[in-house]
Amino acid sequence: MNYAALFGVICFNIIIGLGAIIAIISLVASLWITVASFLLSPILLFIVIQLHLQEFQLYNVITSFLLFTIAVLIIPWTQKLTRFTYRLLAGYVAYNKRIIFH
C-alpha cells in the first residue's frame, strides 16, 4: 500500500471530489423528485378538486396531464442518466483503489 498516494487521494477527494460528487448525486435526486411530482400532478389535482380547495378549471387539467406526459417521456432518460452516474462514480472509486494499491 502506497501511503503517499493514500494521503493524496484522501486530500483530493475531500477538497475537490466531495463537492462534485455531492452536486452530481443531488442533481440526479432532484431530477427523480421532479419526475415523481410530474407523475403525481393529475392525482393531486383530482384530490384538490374533490376537497373543494380549488375550483375546477380546464387549464389546470390540461397542465397536469401535460406534466404527466412529460414525466412519462423523461423516465427512460432519467434511468439512463442514473445508470451512467452510478457507473461513473463506481469507476471513480475503482480508480482511487487502483491508485492506492498499485
pTM: 0.85
Assess contact for 68 and 42: CB atoms under 8 A.
yes
Cell 404527466 appears where? 68
The end-to-end CA distance of the chain, in Å, is 7
What is the mean predicted confidence (pLDDT) over 33-56? 95
Biggest CA–CA distance in the chain, Å, is 68
User: Which residues constitute the domain of residue 40?
Assistant: 3-101
Number of separate domains in the chain: 1
pLDDT given at position 7: 87
Alpha carbons 39 and 81: distance in angstroms, whole number: 18
Question: pLDDT class for 4, splitting at 50, 70, 90?
Answer: confident
What is the mean predicted confidence (pLDDT) over 64-75? 97
Assess contact for 42 and 70: CB atoms under 8 A.
no
